[in-house]
Amino acid sequence: MLAWSTVVAIRRHESTVKRRSHGLLIALLVLGAVVSIFPMVWMFYTSFCPAEDLNAVPPVLIHREFTLLNYVQLLSNAPIVRWTLNSFIICAAITIGQLLFDSMAGYAFARKKFPGGRILFWLIIGTMMVPVQILIVPLYIMMVRLHLVDTLWAAILPGLAGPFGIFFMRQYMLTIPSSLEEAARIDGCGEFQTFLRIILPVSAPALAVLAIFLFISNWNSFLWPLLVLNSAHTYTLTVGLATLQDKQALDYGLLMAGAAVASLPMFGIFLVFQRAFIRGVRMGALKG
Amino acid sequence: MSQVMRYSNGFQHFPRPMTRLRNLCQTFLVARMHNTKVGFESGRFSVGVVRERPLQGSLDTSTFLSCTLVVVLFLFLVATVFGCGGPKQRPQTIKLWEFPRWRETADSIDRFAWMKRQIAAFEATHPGVSVELTELTWERGEDKKRIAIAARVGPDMITGMLPVELVERGLVEPADEYMTLEEREDFFPPALDAFRYQERIYGWPWYLTGSVMFLNLDLFAQAGVPVPDATWDDNTFLESARRLTRDLDSDGAPNVYGFGFLVRPGDTSVWPFLYPDGVRLPLNHSLFENDRNGTAEASLRRLAELIHREHVAPVQCAGWDTEALWQRFANHRDIAMAPWGIWAIPKLRTMPGFRFAVLPYPAPAGARSVERASAFIGTAGFMILRQRDEDKRELCMELARFLTRPEAQTDLAHYGVFPSRKSTGNIYPDDELMVQAQEIITSGQTVPRHRLWARIDEKLQREFQLALLGEKSVETAISDGTSQVGKILEQAKEQPPSESASARQSGTLVLVSATLLIGGLLFVSAAVVARKSSAALAFAWLFLCPAVIVFLIFLLFPLCWVMLLAFQNYSLAGVSPAWTGLENLKSVLREPVFMKAAFNTLVYAAVVVPVNTFSALVVASFIYPLSDRARALFRGAYYLPGVASVLVIAMVWRWLFNESFGLFNTALGFFGLPGIRWLTDPGVALWSIILTSVARPPGGPILIYLAALDAIPTSLFDAAEIDGAGPVRKWWHVTVPLLRPTTLFIALTITIAAFQVFAQVFILTDGGPGYATEVIVHRIYTTAIRDFEFGAASAMSFILFGVIMLASIVQYRFLRSEVQY
C-alpha cells in the first residue's frame, strides 16, 4: 500500500526514462502511424479530385488538378447544417449522459461490496455479448409505441447508459488507490462529495477516453438513426449524406467530401478531450 | 378479421411532429389511468412480499429504491404495451417513402427534387391533401422500410419492386380495381406482370430496368472479330468469346477475356444463361421440379465449361462483386463481353474513349426466334399499403396514377431507365443504344414472385458460385441447391401467412417478458432486503439507479422479449407461434451453413483477439515514454484513422486487395510471385478479412492503455530501475502486471467485438464466395432483419452469447487480479 504522499506525486516523468535506442523505436512507430493514417489522407486527398480522375484505373495517385467542386455542391445544396446540428445534439446528449451514469455505476461496482452486485455486473457485461442486430426490431417497436419515432429522443434514449462504459469505468476505478477515498472521508467528505471531488477528477483520463469513444461511435452510427428518424430535418449527418448517394454508381467525390466534412467535428472533439489526458492527473495531484 | 382491425387501429396512423409531444404525455396519462388498478394491485403485491421479511433499520433506502424502480419500470412497460392510442390523423396526409433517384442537373445533388416537384403539383391540384415524403437511403433503406411496415408504422405508399411477403400478409392494396382498362392496356405487359400475384395487380408500374449484354467494341476491333447482331445465338457467342480471348504476352494466361459475368445473390444478370431457351422461371413451388430435362444443370455446366475448359472467362469471376467486374470491364478493359444493368450505358459514356454496343442475351443454338433467352427485368412501381379509409385509399391510388402518368415519365430519361407505359413513347430520341436496350427490356421477364425468393436466390447463387469456382462439381451444386430450396419451400408451406395471430402473440410476449423482468427484479430486491443492509448498499443502489433504469428499459426488456422467441416458431409471416422448446436451437445446430459460420467466427476470434490485444499493449508501451507532444501526435495518428467512415476504409481495402492492380498483387508481382485472389479464393478470403482487422493496431485499446499507463505511479518504475532491471524486464515484470485490469478489459471487449465481427464481411464479401467468409452475426443479421425469422435468429444469438460468455469467463479467470500498490 502506498502512502498518500506518493500518490499525490503522480506525474509524468519522461525525463527519467532513458532515451537510448529511441531512433529505431520511433521509426517503427512512425511506420505504423503512416499505415494507419493512410485511409484518412486518401479520403481528404480524393475529396479534392475531379470526378473523372476517381474512375480511372489503375487509380491516379498524383492528380494534376484539384477542385473544390465536391465541397461547393455539398455545402450549398444539402441541409448539412441541420444534419450536423442533429448529430451534435444526439452525440452530446449521449456522451454527457453516459459519462455521468456510467461513472456512477462503475464506481458502485468498483468500490461498493453489495449483495447481488456480482450478478448485476455480469448481467451488464452479458448484454455486450448480445449482437445488436437482434435487438433492433423489438427496440424499434418500443419506440413506435412510445410515439418517439422521428424525434431525436428515439436516437438518444437507448444510448444513455452502456455496458462498455460501465465496465470501462469500473476497471479504471479499480486502479485508483482506495487510500484516496479514505483520506477524503477523514477530511469529512460524504459519499457524493467523494465521488464528485476525488473520484471524478482522478478519473479524468478515463473519462476523456470514454467521451471520445462515445462521441465518435455515435457520430458514426447509421442504422439506428436511419430507422427511428423519418424526415430530412431530423436526419443525422451520416444518414443525410447517405441520401445523396445513388444505388449503382457511388459518387466518390461527394462521398469523400461528405466523409471529410463529417470527420472534422470528430477531430475537434478528439483534440479538446485529448488535453484532459495529462491535465486530469495533475488536477488530481493539486487537489490533494 | 376484427382482431386485425383492432390491432392495426392504433399503429397505422402516426402522429404529426407537432402533436407528438402532446401525444406522449397523453399516452402516459391514459396508460396510468387505464391501469391504476393493475398497478396498484401489483404495487401492493410487491410491498406485501417485502413486508413479510423482517425489516432492518427504520429508513430502508434500498427497499424504497427498488420499489420505485419496479413501479417506474412497470408504468413504462404498460405505457409501451398500451401506448397505442392517440388522435387519428387526417386521412388527407399520405406518407410516401422513396429512395434517392437522379440528380436533375450536375450542380444539384438533391436526388429527390423530381419527387418533391411532383408532390407539390399534386398538392396544388388536390387542396387539403398533403404528402409527407420520407427520404430513404439505398444503404439499409430496404431494412428500414421492412421493419417499419412490420411494426405497422410504415408509410402509406412505397416505391420499388413488389414485396411478395407483404402481399401475402394482406398488407398491400390491390390496384387493379382502380385501373381503367385503357391504363392496363397501356402498361407494357412484363411491367404489369411484375406486380401480378395470384391474378391480381398490386402496384402501379413506374419504370423498367434490367440487364443486357454489353460489348466492348474496341476489343472486337483489336481481335478482328465481327460484331454480332441481335439475332446471335450460342454458337456465335462462343465463337466470338474464343476469338476475343487473347494471350498477348504468351505467358499461358490470357490477358483479355472474351466474357465475364457475376454470380451474386440478388443479381439476376446470369439467370438468362441458366434458363436460355426462354423457359420462364416456373413460379412458386416448382422452381426445379419443372427441370426434369436438366436444363438448369446443362446450362450451369455450360457456364462452368466457359471458365474451365474454354478459358474464355476469368476463373475467379464467379467470386467477384459488381465493383470488381466493373473495374475489369470499364476501367481495365480486358473483358470483351459482360452482362450489365442498363445503368451502365450512361456511366460508360462518361468513360473517355470507350466504344460499346448492347445486345440481347444470345439465343440457344438452333432455337426459333420466339424462344430466345429473355432478360430478367426489375420493375419499380408504386404500391399502396393497407388503408382502412376508403377515401384515403382512393387518394393514394390517385397519387400513384399521377406519378405514373405518361407526361411525367419522360423525365425518367435522367435516370437511364425505361417508362412503364407504351404511350410515353420514346424518351431517348437520337439514342440508338437506349432504344435497342428498351426493346430488349420491355420484353423481359421477372423473377418468380415468391415470398422467400430472396432466400431461394441466395442458396442457389451460392451453390452456383461454388460450382463455377470449381469447389464443387456441377451435379453436387445442383442437387445441394435443389434440396436447400426444397427445404425452404417446404417450410413456406408449413407456415401460411397470418396476420392477427402474430400481432396478438407479440402483445402476450411483451407481457410475459415484462412479468419475467419485474419478477426477477422483485426477487433480487427481496433477497437484498433479506440481508443486512447498510448505508453502503443504499449508496450503491443510488449510484446504479440511473444506469440500471436505462438498461432495464432499453436493453433487458427488448432482450427478454426477443429471447423468448428462441423457444417459439415465431416469424413475422408465421401462424400463431407455439412453444417449440429447443426445436429452434436444434435446427440451427443442424444447419451446416451456421456451423460453417461458427467455425469461421472461431478462427477469426482466435487470431484477432491475441494479436490485437498484444499489438495495442506494445504500441502503447512504445508511445508512453515519449514526450507529451510526440505522444499526442501518435495518439491521434493511431486512433483517428479508425474513426473514418467505414465506407472509406472498405474502399481502401478493396483497392489493396484488387486482383489486377491492387497494391498487394503488384508487390507480389514485383518479386515475381503469382498474384493471390484475396477475396475470391474460398481458401484465402477469410484470411483477408482477418488481415483487415489485424493490419492496423487497434486505436481504441491503445488510447485506453495510454490512459491506464498514466495512472501508474512513476515511482514504481523508478523503484524497478533502482533494482537494476532492464527496459524489457521492467516492462514485463512491472508494467504488464500493473496493467492487468486494463488488459482484462481490453481482451474482453476485443473478444466480444471479434465474435460479433460483421461490418468487414458485410461490406467486403457479403459472406462469399460460397460460404467461405460467413460469420455468425452476418447469419443473425440475414435471419432477423432480412427474413424476420426471429425464432431462429434468437437461437443463434443464444449460441453466440454462450460462446462469448465462455470465452469471457476463461479470460476473466486468467487475467483477474486485485491491484495492490
Domain extent, residue B706, equals 584-815
Whether the CA torsion B334, B340, B343, B349 is positive or negative: it is positive
**CA gyration radius for chain A?**
23
Which residues lie below 8 Å from residue B662, measured CB to CB, with a gap of 6+?
A: B655, B656, B678
**Is B252 found in the same domain as B195?**
no
Whether residue B597 has pLDDT greater than 90: yes
pLDDT confidence band for B540 (50 / 70 / 90): confident
* Residue A17 CB coordination number (10 Å): 16
**Is B345 found in the same domain as B229?**
yes
Chain A residues lying within 8 Å of B699, measured CB to CB:
36
Q: Are the CB atoms for B100 and A246 separated by under 8 Å? A: yes
In a domain, A264, yes or no: yes
Of the residues B323, B414, B710, B716, the best mutation for testing chain A's interface (the one with the most A CB atoms within 10 Å of its CB) is B710
Domain count, chain A: 2
Specify the DSSP element, H or E, that contains B201.
Answer: strand B200-201
pLDDT at A46: 80
pLDDT confidence band for B21 (50 / 70 / 90): very low
User: How far is residue A120's CA from residue A136's CA, in Å, rounded to a whole number?
Assistant: 23
What angle is formed at CA A124 by the lines to CA A121 and CA A127, rounded to 5 degrees?
150
Smallest Cα distance from A203 to chain B, Å: 9
pLDDT at B338: 93
**Is A158 found in the same domain as A33?**
no
Residues B370-415: pLDDT tens digits?
556 678 888 999 999 988 888 889 999 999 999 999 988 888 888 8
Chain B residues lying within 8 Å of A14, measured CB to CB:
625-628
**Is A155 found in the same domain as A108?**
yes
In a domain, B347, yes or no: yes
Do residue B820 and residue A1 have CB atoms under 8 angstroms apart?
yes
* Ranges A213-217, B7-11, B152-156, B176-180: which has the least confidence: B7-11
Specify the DSSP element, H or E, that contains B642.
Answer: none
CA atoms within 13 A on the CB side of B717: 23
pLDDT at B488: 79
Smallest Cα distance from A67 to chain B, Å: 14
pLDDT at B367: 57
pLDDT at A85: 92
CA-closest candidate to residue B218, choices B182, B244, B238: B244
Mean pLDDT of chain A: 79
B446 or B690, greater pLDDT? B690
Chain A residues lying within 8 Å of B727, measured CB to CB:
18
Do residue A246 and residue B111 have CB atoms under 8 angstroms apart?
yes
**Is B217 found in the same domain as B251?**
yes
Of the residues A42, A46, A87, A114, the best mutation for testing chain B's interface (the one with the most B CB atoms within 10 Å of its CB) is A114
B64 or B631, greater pLDDT? B631
Whether residue A282 has pLDDT greater than 60: no
Of the residues A7, A10, A20, A145, the best mutation for testing chain B's interface (the one with the most B CB atoms within 10 Å of its CB) is A145
Do residue A145 and residue B537 have CB atoms under 8 angstroms apart?
no
**Is A144 found in the same domain as A110?**
yes
Of the candidates A129, A158, A238, the beta carbon closest to that of B805 is on: A129
Residues B746-755: pLDDT tens digits?
998 899 889 9
**Is A112 found in the same domain as A62?**
no
Chain A residues lying within 8 Å of B776, measured CB to CB:
131
**Is A174 found in the same domain as A212?**
yes
Whether residue B337 has pLDDT greater than 80: yes
Q: Chain B: residue nearest A251 by CA? A: B109
Smallest Cα distance from B198 to chain A, Å: 30
Read off the pLDDT of each residue in B711-718 and give the average, rounded to a whole number: 71
**Is A203 found in the same domain as A106?**
yes
In a domain, A4, yes or no: no
Chain A residues lying within 8 Å of B524, measured CB to CB:
116, 119-120
Q: What percent of chain B has pLDDT over 70?
A: 77
Q: Chain A: residue nearest B781 by CA? A: A133
Q: Are the CB atoms for B629 and B740 separated by under 8 Å? A: no
pLDDT at B368: 55
pLDDT at B273: 81
Do residue A175 and residue B352 have CB atoms under 8 angstroms apart?
no
Chain B residues lying within 8 Å of A141, measured CB to CB:
151, 506
Read off the pLDDT of each residue in A45-52 and give the average, rounded to a whole number: 77
Whether residue A92 has pLDDT greater than 90: yes
* Residue B204 CB coordination number (10 Å): 27
User: How far is residue B258's CA from residue B337's CA, in Å, rounded to a whole number?
Assistant: 6
In a domain, B578, yes or no: no
CA-closest candidate to residue B407, choices B427, B385, B383: B427
Q: What percent of chain A has pLDDT over 70?
A: 82
Read off the pLDDT of each residue in B494-515 and give the average, rounded to a whole number: 57
Residues B678-710: pLDDT tens digits?
888 888 899 999 998 888 888 889 988 888 887
With both helix axes pointing from N to C terminus, report the angle between A22-47 and B646-657 in degrees, rounded to the nearest 10. 100
Of the candidates A2, A9, A77, the beta carbon closest to that of B108 is on: A77
Cα-flanking dihedrals φ and ψ of residue B480, to 5°?
-60, -45
Residues A61-88: pLDDT tens digits?
666 677 888 888 888 877 888 999 999 9
Domain count, chain B: 4
Q: Are the CB atoms for B400 and B384 separated by under 8 Å? A: yes
Chain B residues lying within 8 Å of A101, measured CB to CB:
546-547, 550
Do residue B785 and residue A270 have CB atoms under 8 angstroms apart?
no
Do residue B713 and residue A6 have CB atoms under 8 angstroms apart?
yes
In a domain, B550, yes or no: yes
Q: Is B108 helix (H, G, I), strand (E, B) or coil?
A: coil
In a domain, B766, yes or no: yes
Smallest Cα distance from B177 to chain A, Å: 31
In a domain, B431, yes or no: no
Whether residue B70 has pLDDT greater than 70: no
pLDDT at B120: 93
**Is B288 found in the same domain as B171?**
no
Q: Is B200 helix (H, G, I), strand (E, B) or coil?
A: strand
Whether residue B517 has pLDDT greater than 60: yes
Q: Are the CB atoms for B376 and B339 separated by under 8 Å? A: no
Smallest Cα distance from A187 to chain B, Å: 18
Of the candidates B110, B152, B742, the beta carbon closest to that of A77 is on: B110
Mean pLDDT of chain B: 77
**Is A242 found in the same domain as A101?**
yes
Read off the pLDDT of each residue in B23-47 and give the average, rounded to a whole number: 35
pLDDT confidence band for B91 (50 / 70 / 90): low
**Is B230 found in the same domain as B129?**
no
* Ranges B35-49, B409-423, B571-585: which has the least confidence: B35-49
In a domain, A119, yes or no: yes
Chain A residues lying within 8 Å of B329, measured CB to CB:
none
Q: Is A169 helix (H, G, I), strand (E, B) or coil?
A: helix
Chain A residues lying within 8 Å of B332, measured CB to CB:
57
Would you put residue B96 in left (φ > 0), alpha (ψ -120 to 50) or beta? beta
Cα-flanking dihedrals φ and ψ of residue B244, to 5°?
-75, -25
In a domain, A118, yes or no: yes
In a domain, B164, yes or no: yes
- Specify which residues B357 forms β-bridges with: B215
| Alpha-carbon dihedral angle through residues B707, B713, B714, B717, given to the nearest 10 degrees | -100
Of the candidates B108, B341, B550, the beta carbon closest to that of A161 is on: B550
B778 or B455, greater pLDDT? B778
Cα-flanking dihedrals φ and ψ of residue B340, to 5°?
-135, 155
**Is B97 found in the same domain as B72?**
no
pLDDT at B398: 92
User: How far is residue A172's CA from residue B707's CA, in Å, rounded to a whole number?
Assistant: 9
Which residues lie below 8 Å from residue B259, measured CB to CB, with a gap of 6+?
A: B237, B241, B244, B306, B312, B313, B335, B336, B337, B338
Alpha helix locations (H) across B363-442?
390-403, 406-409, 432-441
Of the candidates A9, A139, A148, the beta carbon closest to that of B715 is on: A9
Of the candidates B138, B548, B801, the beta carbon closest to that of A129 is on: B801
Q: Are the CB atoms for B272 and B374 separated by under 8 Å? A: yes
Chain B residues lying within 8 Å of A157, measured CB to CB:
550, 554
* Residue A127 CB coordination number (10 Å): 18
Do residue B777 and residue A131 have CB atoms under 8 angstroms apart?
yes
**Is B335 found in the same domain as B235?**
yes
Whether residue A128 has pLDDT greater than 70: yes
Whether residue B541 has pLDDT greater than 90: no
Domain extent, residue A38, equals 23-67
**Is B564 found in the same domain as B667?**
no
**Is B116 found in the same domain as B17?**
no
Do residue B107 and residue A77 have CB atoms under 8 angstroms apart?
yes
Last residue of one domain, picked from the residues B494, B529, B549: B494
Which residues lie below 8 Å from residue B519, measured CB to CB, with a gap of 6+?
A: none
Smallest Cα distance from B558 to chain A, Å: 5
In a domain, B579, yes or no: no
List the CATH number of the domain containing B719. 1.10.3720.10
pLDDT confidence band for B568 (50 / 70 / 90): low
Which residues lie below 8 Å from residue B635, measured CB to CB, with a gap of 6+?
A: A274, A277, B623, B702, B703, B706
Residues B194-236: pLDDT tens digits?
898 888 999 999 999 988 999 999 999 998 889 998 888 888 8
Q: Is A268 helix (H, G, I), strand (E, B) or coil?
A: helix
Last residue of one domain, picked from the residues B533, B548, B571: B571
Complex ipTM: 0.81
Last residue of one domain, picked from the residues A38, A67, A96: A67
List the CATH number of the domain containing B322. 3.40.190.10
List the CATH number of the domain containing A171. 1.10.3720.10
Any idea what DSSP says for residue B288? Answer: T
What angle is formed at CA B483 by the lines to CA B482 and CA B484, rounded to 5 degrees?
90
**Is B768 found in the same domain as B623?**
yes
pLDDT at B605: 94
pLDDT at A283: 38
In a domain, A245, yes or no: yes
Distance of CA B696 to the CA centre of its chain: 26
pLDDT at B56: 38
**Is A41 found in the same domain as A164?**
no
Q: Are the CB atoms for A4 and A179 separated by under 8 Å? A: yes
Do residue B808 and residue A129 have CB atoms under 8 angstroms apart?
yes
pLDDT at B371: 56
Q: Chain B: residue nearest A164 by CA? A: B749
**Is A223 found in the same domain as A83?**
yes
User: How far is residue A71's CA from residue A241's CA, in Å, rounded to a whole number?
Assistant: 13
Do residue A104 and residue B546 have CB atoms under 8 angstroms apart?
yes
A184 or B98, greater pLDDT? B98
pLDDT at B608: 94
Q: Are the CB atoms for B268 and B257 separated by under 8 Å? A: no
Chain B residues lying within 8 Å of A17, measured CB to CB:
625, 717
User: How far is residue A49's CA from residue A253's CA, in Å, rounded to a whole number?
Assistant: 7
Do residue B527 and residue A115 have CB atoms under 8 angstroms apart?
yes
Read off the pLDDT of each residue in A150-161 and give the average, rounded to a whole number: 90
Residues B287-332: pLDDT tens digits?
554 444 556 677 778 888 888 888 888 888 888 888 788 888 888 8
CB contact burial B511-526 (16+ within 10 A = b; e otherwise): eebbebbbeebbebbb
In a domain, B427, yes or no: no
Do residue B637 and residue A36 have CB atoms under 8 angstroms apart?
yes
**Is B695 found in the same domain as B603?**
yes
pLDDT confidence band for B23 (50 / 70 / 90): very low
Whether residue B158 has pLDDT greater than 90: yes
**Is A109 found in the same domain as A44?**
no
Specify the DSSP element, H or E, that contains B542.
Answer: helix B535-551
Do residue A137 and residue B562 have CB atoms under 8 angstroms apart?
yes
**Is A179 found in the same domain as A233?**
yes
Alpha helix locations (H) across B674-775?
685-694, 699-711, 714-722, 727-730, 736-738, 740-755, 759-764
Q: Is the peptide bond before B429 cis (omega within 30 degrees of 0)?
A: no
pLDDT at B316: 81
Whether the CA torsion B358, B360, B364, B369 is positive or negative: it is negative
Smallest Cα distance from A83 to chain B, Å: 13
Read off the pLDDT of each residue in B522-539 and give the average, rounded to a whole number: 65
Number of cross-chain residue pairs from A and B with Cβ atoms under 8 Å apart: 389
Of the residues B8, B340, B553, B647, the best mutation for testing chain A's interface (the one with the most A CB atoms within 10 Å of its CB) is B647
**Is A94 found in the same domain as A62?**
no
Specify the DSSP element, H or E, that contains B22.
Answer: helix B17-34
Read off the pLDDT of each residue in A268-279 and give the average, rounded to a whole number: 73
Q: Which of A202-206, B8-12, B59-63, B120-124 has maximum average pLDDT? A: B120-124
B17 or B346, greater pLDDT? B346
Do residue A209 and residue B138 have CB atoms under 8 angstroms apart?
no
pLDDT at B215: 93
Do residue A161 and residue B551 have CB atoms under 8 angstroms apart?
yes
Residues B51-60: pLDDT tens digits?
333 333 333 5
Do residue A270 and residue B639 have CB atoms under 8 angstroms apart?
yes
pLDDT confidence band for B572 (50 / 70 / 90): low
Whether residue B426 has pLDDT greater than 60: yes
User: How far is residue B544's CA from residue B521's CA, in Å, rounded to a whole number?
Assistant: 14
Do residue B555 and residue A270 have CB atoms under 8 angstroms apart?
no
**Is B722 found in the same domain as B588?**
yes
Of the candidates B20, B109, B619, the beta carbon closest to that of A32 is on: B619
* Ranges B72-76, B155-159, B502-506: which has the least confidence: B502-506
Specify the DSSP element, H or E, that contains A272.
Answer: helix A252-274
